[in-house]
Amino acid sequence: MMAGGNVRFLVLILAVAICGAASVFQPISDSHRSAALDVFVPVDGSYKSLEEAYEALKTLEILGIDKKSDLSSKTCENVVKVLQSSSSTLKDAFYALNVNGILKCKIGEAGPKDIVSQLQAGVKDAKLLLDFYYSVRGLVLAKEQFPGTHISLGDAEAIFRSIKSLSQSDGRWRYSSNNPESSTFAAGLAYETLAGVISLAPSEFDPSLIQSVKTGILKLSDSIQKYDDGTFYFDEKSVDASQGPISTTASVIRGLTSFAASESTGLNLPGDKIVGLAKFFLGVGIPGDAKDFFNQIDALACLEDNKFSVPLILSLPSTVISLTKKEPLKVKVSTVLGSKAPALSVKLTQALSSKSVDSSVINNQELKFDADSATYFLDSFPKNFDIGKYTFVFKIVLDESAHEKVYITEAQTKVPIAATGAISIENAEIAVLDSDIGSVESQKKLDLTKDGAVSLSANHLQKLRLSFQLTTPLGNAFKPHQAFFKLKHESQVEHIFLDFLGLVEKLYYLSGKYEIQLTIGDASMENSLLSNIGHIELDLPERPEKATRPPLQSTEPYSRYGPKAEISHIFRIPEKLPAKQLSLVFLGVIVLPFIGFLIGLTRLGVNIKSFPSSTGSAISALLFHCGIGAVLLLYVLFWLKLDLFTTLKALSLLGVFLLFVGHRTLSQLASASNKLKSA
């Protein structure tokens, strides 16, 4: 068939080179299975909801763990209850049918008919994407589980169109026609629903409709995102989406695989993206959350079960080659869920050393296959394979024979490999030199493999030189990652130097006998060493008065790593407030002048005679005084409790009132006094 030929053509072209950092992905293994038993733990023999029950049971079924017998009774009760009641929601019915598919509970004769008619009514009335999803997928499940009942979808094309109307031009889908927000997760649900409609439809669909869906899939796959290590994933555009990348990618994969299965075509994604999606899920490791675990395993199962693009993963049990042990490098190829791969061959196309990235040490070596352990191995390395860090590039070539399924792999898999070996140390010697001239005063040869008993003496004017040569097994010069030189005084005062000249002050002016210790280490070196070279007598000048004394070392060797002295943070001490009584006394003192004022007023003979007597003016005068009093009260409240803004608001109101009243009062007073004057 044309379609099959196209797909196979796509598979065999390993055209796109993946430029990414190298990393190793392991397929699903037994550690996943034991973790699944811990994550999906039912509470009291059943799960909290049918959704959780479905997720747990499906995951355990895919992983091949049989726990059905423990849970089936209570969960089946729930399932039967939901399927037999006529008022269950579409969501409950959907998950009940899903669980029934796994557990195969016994439902009576009448049950299926009710639920089917309920779902069919749901399809007719559905307006939201989720309603379409639950009802259509529920009908698909019912058709599988109850083969006798008759299920018809009504006007399938109309339903297809109404689901399609919720789509957007960038490939995403909206949840309802009212809500303009679109989501990638909803797109996955929509593709699953459309696949269900196609499979339930009595007749063929208009190919233009199918084509429009396929273009939508292409647009959606443009929004795929990538991490640096070559994994691909889908994520939501908006930041506060409720679905993370794992659930979004899983939903899209479910949608695309079910759509491809219903259409009997391949997934409309290029091969490296499919493998990238598989690697994304494998890279998650073992999730701790039940929903993430379900999404991971379900998506990987979808990728594995589809007929047209099954990804294969290349993994290495160990990425270290030891040149001394002469063990072969093992490589495993399997599907994502850990099952066997078909007949293929693995080639090591290049081995790029970290030092010289252009030229490759090994070229196009084919790995031998060991059928017993189902691993490929490489046991012979070329003569110029030295220790160090390498990047090995593997390529999987599928055998030409016909397969049931079509497999896809990455174009090349890059794996970081470290090669280790034994380093030989030669020409080690230690010398004391006169500082300026550089002439050797005393020189001794060292054998660094054994503890030496060299003894030297020096004073602060001279230099100490330690030299040695490290060579790799092949004879190339080698520079270690770490080289430490340690001097230890008799009283256990230690100093560690990286470069070989220590300052006199750093040695705390302690003269006497020092022990010399040399440490050389590196990741590629199998025989890193720590050796005592010998002793050196240092004759240092007298300590001047100001120099720091050596710290007193306690006898315990690990005490220098103990907790340091605690630094206590001193907050600014709040200033001392005067005593409370003093403040109260002064309050009394302040009041005194006020009393004096009142007394003076009475002595002056102040009166309120001109307080107006007629009612109108009396009221306004009274209100005026009340107004002023209210404002002052407001100020007191402001001081005690309120903030500026509420005060200003209240003040503006009171102010307007006061203005009005005051104006009236004062004008009346003025007119009264005018009358008095003129009279």
- DSSP codes of every residue in 347-414: EEEEEEESS-SSSEEEEEEEPEEETTTTEEEE----TT--SEEEEEEEEEEE-SS--SS-EE--S-EE
Q: What residues numbered 453-492 form the site for other proteins, per CB under 8 A? A: none
Count other C-beta atoms under 10 Å from residue 77's C-beta.
Answer: 12
**C-alpha to C-alpha distance for 153 and 202, rounded to whole angstroms:** 8
Count other C-beta atoms under 10 Å from residue 111's C-beta.
Answer: 19
Q: Is the dihedral of CA 222, 225, 226, 232 positive or negative?
A: negative
Q: Write down the least CB distance from residue 624 to other proteins, Å.
A: 9
586 is an interface residue for other proteins by CB under 8 A: yes
653 is an interface residue for other proteins by CB under 8 A: no
Site size for other proteins (CB under 8 A): 35
594 is an interface residue for other proteins by CB under 8 A: yes
Q: What residues numbered 225-244 form the site for other proteins, per CB under 8 A? A: none
Q: Write down the least CB distance from residue 653 to other proteins, Å.
A: 14
Closest C-alpha to 272, from 219, 231, 221, 328 = 231
371 is an interface residue for other proteins by CB under 8 A: no
- The answer to whether residues 7 and 270 touch, using CB atoms and an 8 Å cutoff, is no
676 is an interface residue for other proteins by CB under 8 A: no
Site for other proteins (CB under 8 A): which residue of 512, 541, 557, 600? 600
- The answer to whether residues 21 and 228 touch, using CB atoms and an 8 Å cutoff, is yes
Nearer to other proteins, 108 or 578 (CB): 578
656 is an interface residue for other proteins by CB under 8 A: no
Three-state DSSP at 339 gives coil
Q: Write down the least CB distance from residue 675 to other proteins, Å.
A: 13
Site for other proteins (CB under 8 A): which residue of 19, 239, 604, 679? 604
663 is an interface residue for other proteins by CB under 8 A: yes
Q: Write down the least CB distance from residue 570 to other proteins, Å.
A: 21
- The answer to whether residues 177 and 196 touch, using CB atoms and an 8 Å cutoff, is no
Q: What residues numbered 193-212 form the site for other proteins, per CB under 8 A? A: none
Q: Write down the least CB distance from residue 596 to other proteins, Å.
A: 7
Q: Write down the least CB distance from residue 619 to other proteins, Å.
A: 18
Nearer to other proteins, 547 or 670 (CB): 670
Q: How far is CA 132 from CA 111, 167, 191, 628, in A?
A: 21, 13, 11, 70
**C-alpha to C-alpha distance for 236 and 252, rounded to whole angstroms:** 11
669 is an interface residue for other proteins by CB under 8 A: yes
Q: What residues numbered 516-575 form the site for other proteins, per CB under 8 A? A: 575
* Selected range binding other proteins among 97-105, 339-347, 484-492, 593-601, rule: CB under 8 A: 593-601
* Selected range binding other proteins among 356-364, 429-437, 484-492, 582-590, rule: CB under 8 A: 582-590
Q: What residues numbered 611-650 form the site for other proteins, per CB under 8 A? A: 628, 631-632, 635-636, 638-639, 644, 647
**C-alpha to C-alpha distance for 331 and 348, rounded to whole angstroms:** 10
- In eight-state DSSP terms, residue 490 is T
**C-alpha to C-alpha distance for 386 and 374, rounded to whole angstroms:** 28
Tokens found for residue 226? 């990538």
Closest C-alpha to 524, from 319, 357, 362, 367 = 319
Q: What residues numbered 9-28 form the site for other proteins, per CB under 8 A? A: none
584 is an interface residue for other proteins by CB under 8 A: no
Q: Write down the least CB distance from residue 586 to other proteins, Å.
A: 5
Q: Write down the least CB distance from residue 637 to other proteins, Å.
A: 10
Q: Write down the least CB distance from residue 602 to other proteins, Å.
A: 11
**C-alpha to C-alpha distance for 280 and 283, rounded to whole angstroms:** 5
Residue type, 492: Q
Sites of contact with other proteins (CB under 8 A):
575-578, 582, 586, 589-590, 592-594, 596-597, 600-601, 604-606, 628, 631-632, 635-636, 638-639, 644, 647, 651, 655, 662-663, 666-667, 669-670
